[in-house]
Structure formats: structure tokens, C-alpha cells
Amino acid sequence: MRVRTRSIPLWAWAAAIALYLGAAAAAVEFAWDRAIDALAQVGAHRLDLYAASLKSELGRYEMMPAIVARQDSVRALLAAGSRASPDLLHEVDTYLEAVNNEAGSLAVDVIDLQGEVIAASNWNQSFSFVGTNVSYRPYFKDALAHGTGRFFGIGTNTGMPGLYYASAVRVAGKPVGATAVKLSVDALETAWRAPGEAAMVIDSNGVIVISTVPAWKFTAIRPITAQQQRVIQDSRQYAGRNVDALPYRRVGDWNDAAWLGRFPDWRRAGHTTQFLVMSRPAPQAGDSIMVLLDVASARRQQQVALAFVTGAFLIAGLYALYAAQRRRTIAVRLKAQDALRAANDRLEMTVAQRTAALVETNERMQQEIVERKRTEQRLRDTQQEVVHAGKLAVLGQMAAGLTHELNQPLVAIRTLCDNARTFFERNQPAQAVANLERVAKLVDSMAVLTGELKTFARKPDVERMAVSLNEAVAHARLIYEARIRDEGVQLDVNIPAGSTVWAESSQLQQVIVNLLGNALDAVHHEEKRIITIAAADPDARERVLFTLADTGPGIAPDVLAHLFEPFVTTKPRGQGLGLGLAITSRIVEGFGAKISAANLAGGGAQFTIEFAAATSQRVVHGR
Ligand code: ADP
């Protein structure tokens, strides 16, 4: 049996794939949005933190130049100019050294109107600022012009980057010089360093001055014009370095405060990485703080989301496959059950049909049996009727025969009696007695006739048993002994010793006597007078064929057809009644045997009796 199972159709696969792709894309985008939003929050937090730390770390130094500028010794030194005493210079130098040590700044120095450093906290160091001219430095110019100045720069002497705060020193309202404080940003850079992040401060030129990535320091975040480049070179702000642009690419905006850009990855040389970039103005005007946050975490979350969606789809897919398989298995099982049920139904139907056919046949057979029985009964009835009719016919024949046979003697007796009376009247008693004797003879012969009739009428159903054929034949022979001898008849008896037949002894003797008598009559006028009696069992003890043949003239053809009917005779009146063979056939039928007669080819007649054989054990010897 082939079960057609529906496999998952193509459109379902296509729909599942489309759904998966849609869900994956949505999940990835959602994860990205959420992660970047989270990252932006981190960035905003970082910016808050860095702005605060910038303000606290650097802002507290902002007023320091102004405080130093108000120091009497400083003002006196600047006011004295070249006339200042070495003591005063020393006093200022030591003051500056002490202040610098106290405040933790890199250097504190005093600059005269010409821009020359005349006193410095590092007055006694090898890289002392003293004698250096800083007139080109914008912080100095700004301090003289506006009272304060500040900038990020690289120290021309030390080569160390730092933040410079400057303040004008005024005596009687007129500027006599300036004071400057240089601060290290190393601590900030160290503090701001975080994995996967970069933090930087960009000055008004767009140049990175504080950076957690050392390589990016003093590179420009914005394109620098030739004019700006010149100004930068003039101010030696970055110690004469060429300010290169940081090679990054803006990828896209995220929101007002953040954008996405691809920057060189400081962790892997030669690689670029995408970062979320956020910036805000630093507490000090003109500067800005910028943080770069690696979007790797967002990518990871995207991967997680993708993996989640993929996993969910795989599980759903597996479940769908499992369900489909299960459905298919159930379908197969149901179909098998259906097929089984159908086969069962068919079988039951066939059985029912066959049973019905059988029942019908049975009923028909029963009916046939009943019909046969009825027919049989009818046949039997008919047979009985036929037998009855036959008997009536025989009775009719017999009555006719009897009337004929008895009438003649009766007429004769009547005449003889009339004559006897006449003889008595004439007194001739001798003749009368002679007549009466003739009457007595006639009555005797009539008695013989009625005696024969009694035998004929006798009931044929006698008790049958095994009777010896040889004994029956011997008895008949004894009766005709004198005739056989006197007439010179040759009697050949050829019966195997012990041959028995199913019969009644005295009746069997009568049958043989009748047949032998007829044969003797037949051969009476012949020259060759041979009578042959024989018996054979042609089929081994089933039947015994008894034959009695003579060399007589044979049975007349018109007699042969009615041979066994009563009153059929060819013999002269007084010699035969025609009852012998009729009685014989009746007796034989009573044995359950069959008698038949035929003329032999070589002349003569043969009578055959087909007996049922009897076993030797049941032989009853004839009386
Ligand atoms: P019946 O001897 O009184 O005539 P049966 O019935 O014995 O009566 O015989 C009937 C007739 O059958 C005989 O009259 C005779 O014509 C014929 N028949 C019987 N036996 C023989 C025989 N052996 N050969 C020739 N004819 C026979």
C-alpha cells in the first residue's frame, strides 16, 4: 500500500525563510537600536563625568595665575623690570616653586611685557623656562589683551604637552607682564582610559589636545585651513609639529548628540573600527570633549539577537518538521487503519455474502430435499398404485382363468349329477356310482387348482437365510427321479460345493422343482435330452448366478414377453395352468433376487436367477 503523504510545500518553505529573514532583520535592527541607545547613554554619562573631571582637575587651576599675579613680590619684580634685585628675583622664584609644589601643577612662571620668562618655578632646573620668550604664545597675547589666556600646547623647552592658564599682572591699572601656569593632563588621560572607548579634548583649532589614545594627540578632528596651519606654526602651539588630520570617516548620524564613524583602531594597527561618537562643549569655552564608544558590544548584541531568532526559528522549524512528521506518521497509521477496516469490512461483506449464498443454497437444498422426498413419496405412491393396478390386472386375469378352469368341471359335474339322478331313477346304480366317482375326481382336480392358487396367494415375505443351492437342486432331482430315469434325460449339475444363496429353503426347492419340471416337459419330445444346472459367483461373493438350461425347442416368441404372467401356457388343457413361472417369479422376488429367461443360440431355453450371495457361516441346511 502506498500512502500519499503531503510534504511541506515550497511556498511554506519560502514563507518560513521570508519570515525568518524579516524577523532576523528586525531583531538585528532592534538589537542594534537598543544597544546603540544604551551606548549613547553610556557616552552621555561619560561626557558628564569627563566634563566634571575636566572642571575639577583643571578648573581649579584657572584662578591660579590671577592669584600669583596679585602677589606683591611678583608685581614688584615686573615693575622693577631689569632693575630688579637678585634677591627679589630669588624670592619670586622660590615663591613660584613653592606654589607650584603646593598646587601640583607642572610649572608656574612670570613673564614680562616682552614675553620673556623672568621667573619660573623650575628656575633651578636644567630645562628652566627662565629666559624663554613666549610672546608668540596665544595665552600670553590673550592675557595681555583680555586679562586671561589659556591654551593647550607642547612645551617648547620640555616638549611636554600641557594646559596653559595665563593672567595679566597689572600695576596701577596697567599691565606690566603676565603669570602662567602649566598643567599636566597625563592624569586625566590615565583616568579616562576605558576598554573599547576613547576620550579626548579638542581645542578651538579642532586639534586633539587630551587623548586616551596617545597617537591621536595633536591630530585634527576637523580639516585645518592653510591660514589656521600658519597661525598654529607661528604660535608654536604644538611645538612646530605639522597638524595632520585624523583619518576617520563619518558613517551616519545616530541622533542629535551622537553619530557613527569609522576610526583607526588603536588596539589593532592598520584596522579601522566603527564607533559611536559623542561630543559636547568642555567647561572651558572653545574646547569640546569627545568620546568614542566601540559598537562591538552592539554588534555582539546583534549577534545574540540573530542567534536567538535563528535558534527560535530552528526550534520552531524542528517542531514544525516534527509535527509534520508526526502528522505524516499519524496519517500513515490512520490510512493503514482505514485500509485494514476497509479490508475487514470487505471481508465481512464477502463472508456475509457467502454466508447468505450458503444459507440460500442450503435453503434451496432443503427445499430440494423436501421436494425429492415429496417426489419420492409420490413415486412410491404411484408405484404402489401401479403395483396395486398390476395386482388388480393379475386378479382380473386370474379370475378369468379361474372362471374358465372351474366352469368346465362345474358344467361337467352338473351334467354328471343330472345323469346320476337319471341313472338312479332308471335304477342303474352302477352307472350312477361311476358318474359320482367322476364327480369326485373333478372335485379333486378343482382342489388341486385352488391349492395352487393358495400357494400363489401366499405372502412372499418369508424369513431369508443362507440356503445351500446343491441341497435344493438335490431335492428337486429326487422329486423327478423316476421321470428323469424313465425318459432318459441327462441332468448335469455343476454347482460349486458350499454355494449358498439368500433365500427360504422350501420356496427355493419349489422354484427349482418348477423350472426343472418345465425343462423336462420341454425336452420330452426331443431326441437330445440334456438339462444343465449351474451356479457361479461372477463378482466374488456379491451375487450368485443360478442357471438352468435345456435342449428343448426354446420358449415361443409370443410367450416370452408374458412368460412370468399367470395363466400363460402353451401346454394342453389338464397339463399346464400357466401359474408355475408366475409363482416362481413371485417367490424369487421375495428373495430379493431376479429371474430372467432367454432362448439359447444353440437351441433350448435358459432360465437365470440372480441371487444375493450369502456367507458360508450363515448356511442353513435345507430340510
Ligand atoms: P405351464 O407349465 O403350466 O404351462 P408355466 O408357467 O410353467 O405353466 O409355463 C408357461 C409356458 O412357458 C409353458 O406353457 C411353455 O410354453 C413355456 N415354457 C416354460 N418352460 C419352458 C422350457 N423349458 N422350454 C420351452 N418352453 C417353456
Which listed CATH number (3.30.450.20, 1.10.1670.10, 3.30.365.10, 3.40.50.1360) goes with 64-183?
Answer: 3.30.450.20
What Rg value do the Cα atoms of the chain yield, rounded?
83
Q: Determine which residue's CA is closest to atom 23 belonging to ligand 1.
A: 519
| pLDDT, position 387 | 52
| pLDDT, position 1 | 46
- In the 8-state DSSP scheme, what is residue 60? G
Minimum-distance ligand 1 atom for the alpha carbon of 576: 3
Q: Using CA atoms, how far apart are residues 203 and 147, in angstroms rounded to an integer?
A: 20
Minimum-distance ligand 1 atom for the alpha carbon of 575: 3
Q: What is the CATH number of domain 465-612?
A: 3.30.565.10
- Backbone CA torsion sign across 359, 364, 368, 371: positive
Q: Enumerate residues 6+ apart whose C-beta is below 8 A from 356.
A: none
Q: Enumerate residues 6+ apart whose C-beta is below 8 A from 143.
A: 65, 149, 166, 167, 168, 178, 180
Q: Determine which residue's CA is closest to atom 26 belonging to ligand 1.
A: 555
- Asked whether 604 lines ligand 1 (CB < 6 A), one says no
Task: Using most ligand atoms within 8 A of CB, pick from 511, 518, 564, 567 the residue to mutate for ligand 1.
Answer: 518
- In the 8-state DSSP scheme, what is residue 254? E
Cell of 150: 589659556
Alpha helix locations (H) across 113-210? 138-146, 186-192
| pLDDT, position 395 | 62
> Torsion angle of alpha carbons 422, 428, 430, 434, nearest 10°?
-20
**Identity of the amino acid at 336:** A
First to last CA, the chain: 87
- Asked whether 577 lines ligand 1 (CB < 6 A), one says yes
Q: Using CA atoms, how far apart are residues 219 and 245, in angstroms rounded to an integer?
A: 5
**pTM over 0.85, yes/no:** no
Cα(534) to ligand 1 centroid in Å equals: 20
Nearest-5° Cα angle at 425, 423 to 429: 45
Grouping H, G, I as helix, E, B as strand and the rest as coil, residue 147 is coil
Nearest to 208 by CA among 252, 250, 244: 244
Minimum-distance ligand 1 atom for the alpha carbon of 519: 23
| Residue 543 contacts residue 613 (beta carbons within 8 Å) | yes
Cα→Cα distances 541→411, 505, 512, 610, Å: 55, 19, 21, 12
| Residue 159 contacts residue 243 (beta carbons within 8 Å) | no
What burial letters (b/e) apply to 90-125, b meaning 16+ CB within 10 Å?
A: ebbbebbbebbeebebbbbbbbbbebbbbbbbbbee
Q: Using CA atoms, how far apart are residues 266 and 243, in angstroms rounded to an integer?
A: 19
Centre a 10 Å sphere on the Cβ of residue 199 and count the other Cβ atoms it contains: 25
Convert the pLDDT of each residue in 354-407 to its tens digit: 888 888 888 888 888 888 888 878 777 765 565 555 556 556 656 666 676 777
| pLDDT, position 163 | 86
Q: Which parts of the chain have pLDDT scores under 50?
A: 1-3, 616-623
Q: Using CA atoms, how far apart are residues 583 and 398, in angstroms rounded to an integer?
A: 12
Convert the pLDDT of each residue in 595-614 to its tens digit: 999 999 999 999 999 988 77
Nearest to 19 by CA among 397, 373, 293, 317: 317
Nearest to 144 by CA among 232, 59, 231, 65: 65
Q: Determine which residue's CA is closest to atom 21 belonging to ligand 1.
A: 518
CATH topology of domain 186-294: Beta-Lactamase (3.30.450)
| pLDDT, position 518 | 94
Q: Using CA atoms, how far apart are residues 260 and 296, in angstroms rounded to an integer?
A: 12
Q: Determine which residue's CA is closest to atom 10 belonging to ligand 1.
A: 569
The backbone torsions φ and ψ at residue 425, rounded to the nearest 5 degrees and listed phi first, read -65, -35
Strands 148-154 and 117-120: unpaired
Residue 570 half-sphere exposure, CB side, CA atoms within 13 Å? 13
Task: Using most ligand atoms within 8 A of CB, pick from 528, 562, 569 the residue to mutate for ligand 1.
Answer: 569
Q: Determine which residue's CA is closest to atom 8 belonging to ligand 1.
A: 578
Cα(326) to ligand 1 centroid in Å equals: 104
- Asked whether 522 lines ligand 1 (CB < 6 A), one says yes
